[in-house]
Chains A and B, each alone.
Chain A
């Protein structure tokens, strides 16, 4: 089910090359889940708060209340998806694009 299980299986990989890629893979995956996941969750929750067409205090509160569920979902998905580059690209991509969008939008008038 996991990448982890796959790579350690004796298979097409030459024996000497299996350990280091696993370490780098896992470091990238964990950092993406922990830090990138937080950034992406913060950006999505903030976009929700900024764009919901309701009273600003309510929109702000919905963003805050839902943020940890978004974070947990993203972080676990980082360990579910096999292709680590896809994980990193999507999570950091959401954080960067969403962050840029928020910067363009500015504070709600």
Chain B
């Protein structure tokens, strides 16, 4: 099992490292988005009010749409997001209407710099910037490798209890093994949970066969499982939509929690419906119940959500992965555990090279390749992520296509670092890569102060908690990378330690 553990980890390791890092950042997806639109300040409103203003806006711009999907703001999200599904136009090519971002207080389109915000890290986490559906398949394959590596890793560790207390610094390969064991073993329940539940988030794509065996129409499963309302065709007679606020208030009474999403089908038709979904922070189950009202007179039509143990299990698995239920303290715990995941994968990759390096001997090609890929990903990706955040502040707010330019900045920077480090000796490349990363993250609060009015001293004085916390987090990440640079500069190649027979070294 030790042998298969090493190969599973090596083959999927670099992608898994990137998935862990961007996934960890995604725990703060709404906060990152807020930070990346500093012009827009959240004014807390009730969901009923946000729903009213959003529907009023959509009545002006898309009164004859097929559907409106409205994502209401909450304590962490400042804006209302609307996706409209337009009536198919036989002349125009079929394409998705762009997302509409509204100020919840007024219902006007938000005037702020165009950005993908935290959504970019979140999407990269499982789509890997590849065309659909290949990114999701590759992410799933790597997650499956990870699951195999975790199970075989546990089998490898006969001394799992002793590993809790073992970390020997400055001992070369032995230290990488201990660091790998400590980061993996301490957070093992988290790693196992996040890997399995990650696969479950896309189970309908990866494993649709149980559905096809039980349902002639797969849509029937979605309806039974996910609380989609009964399909009601448009009648074709116009009837205006009732006021949406009282419906939201009624649904919140029924849920005992906030409404997160509302879906209006066939607005302004006599057969229109309004479906309201509960906010995911109300329960460990990531799939909340829903209620549906008739859009023409507001009467209650149906409620969905009282599900059995299997669907509840699936819902809780989803909830555990996306962590919408978590309050601030638990969310930070998730963040730290996510970093231990990146550390586990990273130290595992380093262990692979440390184990094969012979003092004095010329490294063979595979060793050099793995080492360079390690530097390019482990030291390079953080630089790319910092470049994405810096680009948000440095590209002028009015530039056309600036959201795409921000994303391109991240990948060009990462790619350039990954290529240019080859020109440096490997040990220097580690140190310099981490040092550049540390500098890039340390510069973010400075650039934020210079280019916006919400920079560090100001945000603390005005009680702008989100901006202050974000900038401090950047400084903390810079400190971590600086520590990495310092350690990699100090470490000398240590002569290989003779291992006792009982020691388990994987790979």
Q: Give the interface of A toward B (CB within 8 A).
A: 1-2, 4-5, 42-43, 45-46, 48-50, 54-65, 67-69, 71-72, 75-76, 79-80, 102, 105, 107-108
Q: Helix, strand, loop or mixed for chain A's interface?
A: helix
Indicate whether B82 reaches chain A with its CB closer than 8 angstroms. no
Contact pick for B209, options A46, A59, A75, CB 8 Å: A46
| Cβ-defined contact, B210 with A75, below 8 A | no
Contact pick for A46, options B213, B221, B308, CB 8 Å: B213
Contact pick for A76, options B4, B207, B210, B314, CB 8 Å: B4
Within 417-433 of B, Cβ neighbours of A (below 8 Å) are at none
Residues of A within 8 A of B310 (CB): 57-62, 65
Minimum Cβ distance to chain B for residue A79 (Å): 5
Contact pick for B314, options A46, A65, A79, CB 8 Å: A65
Q: How many Å lie between the Cα of A76 and that of B147 in the bound state?
A: 10
Indicate whether B322 reaches chain A with its CB closer than 8 angstroms. no
Residue among B4, B203, B207, B215 with max Cβ neighbours from chain A (10 Å) = B207
3 residue pairs, one from A and one from B, having the closest CB atoms: A63-B210, A49-B210, A61-B310
Q: List 6 A-B contacts (CB under 8 A).
A: A42-B207, A45-B210, A49-B209, A57-B311, A76-B4, A107-B213
Contact pick for B308, options A2, A55, A75, CB 8 Å: A55
Known: A4-B3, A57-B224. A107 touches B317 (CB 8 A): no
Contact pick for A60, options B144, B148, B210, B216, CB 8 Å: B210
Number of interface residues of B (CB under 8 A): 34
Q: Give the interface of B toward A (CB within 8 A).
A: 1, 3-4, 144, 147-148, 151-152, 196, 199-200, 203-204, 206-207, 209-216, 221, 224-225, 307-311, 313-314, 317
Residues of A within 8 A of B313 (CB): 61, 65
Q: How many Å lie between the Cα of A63 and that of B212 in the bound state?
A: 12
Contact pick for B311, options A45, A48, A58, A105, CB 8 Å: A58
Residue among A2, A50, A57, A79 with max Cβ neighbours from chain B (10 Å) = A57
Residues of B within 8 A of A50 (CB): 210, 213-214
| Cβ-defined contact, A107 with B207, below 8 A | no
| Cβ-defined contact, A107 with B151, below 8 A | no
| Cβ-defined contact, A64 with B203, below 8 A | yes
CB-based nearest A residue for B198: A68
| Cβ-defined contact, A72 with B151, below 8 A | yes
Known: A57-B221, A60-B221. A68 touches B214 (CB 8 A): no
Residue among A62, A67, A69, A72 with max Cβ neighbours from chain B (10 Å) = A72
